[in-house]
Structure formats: C-alpha cells, structure tokens
C-alpha cells in the first residue's frame, strides 16, 4: 500500500506534467486516456505517464489520493488539474496552455 502511494507522490513531485492513465501514450487503453495525451501531444509539452492498469494498487491509491473516481488524472506542477473533461475544457479556453507554459517554462504550441 505504502509503496504505491510513495510511487504516486514521487511521480507527481518529480514531473512537471504527470498523467495517470490506462495504457501508455502509444497504446492508450481507453478513449479518455487517449484524448488526454493527445492534447498534451498537440501542445508539444513534455509529460510523463503511469499506466494504472499495470498495478491495481496504484489505480486504487491514485483515486483515493486525488479524491477522484476516474482515470485519467492529470497533475501539473504538483497540483491536481482534473480528468479528461476538465483538461479538454481548459485547453479550449486556453488556460491549459498557460498552466503548461508556466510549469515547463517553454512556449506551448498554441
């Protein structure tokens, strides 16, 4: 238990953009995970992913840790941003680009 939680915390702390998803960026196992990574691909932002399907404990623990019942889950700069809907909404309003830019210090593509 503690291991999964530690893994989650250090992934969030160690990566400016951290995505907990089903599958990986090349082979997403769920449409919502796919849509989420696609947005970050479009932004050209460097991001890291963890496949929650690979470890049921990580899957359960990240839901509890974020107080969020679904996957994917996106963290930017250590802060929980939300799931697919919120990321999409923030992308459409341009807020996501601002968040990514300030987190990574690089200009987002859009």
Partner 1 sequence: MDPTEIQQMIERGLPGAVVEVQDTTGGGDHFEALVVSDKFEGKGLVERHQVVYATLGDAMRARVHALQLKTLTPAQYQNRR
Interface positions with partner 1 (CB under 8 A): 32, 63, 67-70, 80-86, 89-90
Query: Is 83 within 8 Å of 70 (Cβ atoms)?
Result: yes
Please report how close the Cβ of residue 89 comes to partner 1 at its closest, in angstroms: 7
Distance CA 15, CA 103 (A): 10
Min dist CB 9 to partner 1, Å, is: 18
Instruction: Choose between 67 and 105: whose C-beta lies nearer to partner 1.
Output: 67
In angstroms, what CA-CA distances link 54 with 26, 46, 72, 109? 15, 22, 14, 31
Output 80 or 107, the one with its CB closest to partner 1: 80
């Amino acid at each position: 238990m503690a291991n999964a939680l530690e893994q989650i915390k250090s992934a969030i702390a160690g990566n400016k953009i951290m995505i907990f998803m089903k599958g990986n960026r090349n082979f997403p196992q769920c449409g919502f995970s796919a849509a989420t990574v696609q947005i970050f691909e479009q932004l050209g932002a460097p991001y890291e992913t963890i496949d929650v399907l690979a470890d049921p404990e990580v899957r359960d623990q990240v839901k509890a840790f974020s107080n969020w019942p679904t996957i994917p889950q996106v963290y930017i700069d250590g802060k929980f941003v939300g799931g697919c809907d919120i990321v999409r909404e923030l992308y459409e309003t341009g807020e996501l680009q601002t968040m990514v830019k300030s987190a990574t210090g690089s200009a987002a593509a859009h």
